[in-house]
């Protein structure tokens, strides 16, 4: 028996199509976590334990995620097995810039060598540089941790065709396509939406539609449904 990361192949493939097309020297940053808040068995562990992280383009993303579905027990948290119910797959939907990450990584590794830090992992340091190296800012993500949030409020601050709403285990991610924001909202949408009980905003890790999030499957909501 294997871990199950992909819960709905059709919704996952739709999510891949939804992601921005990449340019040269760009990749998506993805990470598989076990989270304590999704499984009470992990009460003594840290809130987040990163199990795997990797880079991918759109063409390879399905296969890269499918390769995460290893036999149950293969993911471990120190001396414990990571339960299926604790797993969540994230992605940065804004592309990462590999050239910028390489430059920053070279500086980081050089500094660590200079100051004789003997305990660093070069791969870990480089991957952290990739995660921090946003390329083009195409999407702004508003994370709302409230299932009772009234999504119809969004229509006051943004034109609907610039918005996608991803339902998650604890609420919603409101994703704004910057290139689609109408002129009358461009200077005001960020402040307006930020004032609507938003937990976090910006260039964030996003749960992947069609994949597992602590026993829940994130999915896109149609805008007409979101506005009631």
Average pLDDT in the 54-66 region? Answer: 98
Determine the distance from the C-alpha atom of residue 144 to the mean position of all C-alpha atoms in its chain, rounded to a whole number: 14
Say if residue 44's pLDDT is above 70. no
What's the angle, vertex CA 95, arms to CA 210 and CA 158, rounded to 5? 75
pLDDT of residue 42: 66
Compute the mean pLDDT over every residue in the chain, rounded to the nearest whole number: 91
Q: Which region among 60-64, 96-100, 174-178, 195-199 has the lowest average model confidence (pLDDT)?
A: 195-199
Q: What angle do CA 90, 1, 30 make, to 5 degrees?
A: 15
Output the pTM of the full model: 0.91
The residues spanned by each domain of the chain are: 9-95+134-226
How crowded is residue 105: how many other Cβ atoms within 10 Å of its Cβ? Answer: 20
Decide: 190 and 140 in contact? Cβ < 8 Å.
Answer: yes
Summarised one tens digit per residue, pLDDT across range 186-222 is 999 999 999 998 888 888 999 999 999 999 999 999 7
């Amino acid at each position: 028996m294997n871990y199950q990361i992909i819960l709905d192949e059709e919704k996952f493939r739709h999510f891949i199509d939804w992601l921005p097309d990449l340019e040269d020297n760009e990749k998506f940053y993805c990470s598989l976590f076990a989270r304590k808040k999704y499984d009470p068995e992990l009460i003594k562990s840290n809130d987040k334990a990163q199990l795997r992280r990797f880079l991918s383009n759109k063409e390879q993303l399905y296969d890269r995620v499918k390769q995460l579905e290893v036999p149950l027990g293969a993911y471990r948290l120190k001396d414990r097995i990571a339960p299926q119910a604790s797993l969540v797959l994230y992605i940065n939907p804004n592309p990462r810039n590999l050239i910028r990450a390489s430059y920053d990584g070279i500086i980081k590794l050089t500094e660590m060598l200079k100051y004789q830090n003997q305990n660093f992992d070069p791969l870990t340091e480089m991957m952290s540089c990739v995660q921090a190296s946003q390329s083009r800012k195409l999407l702004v993500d508003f994370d709302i941790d409230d299932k009772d949030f009234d999504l119809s409020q969004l229509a006051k601050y943004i034109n609907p065709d610039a918005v996608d709403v991803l339902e998650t285990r604890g609420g919603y991610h409101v994703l704004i396509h910057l290139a689609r924001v109408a002129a009358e909202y461009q200077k005001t949408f960020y402040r307006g939406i930020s004032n609507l009980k938003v937990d976090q905003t910006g260039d964030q890790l996003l749960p992947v539609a069609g994949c597992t999030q602590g026993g829940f499957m994130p999915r896109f909501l149609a805008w007409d449904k979101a506005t009631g």
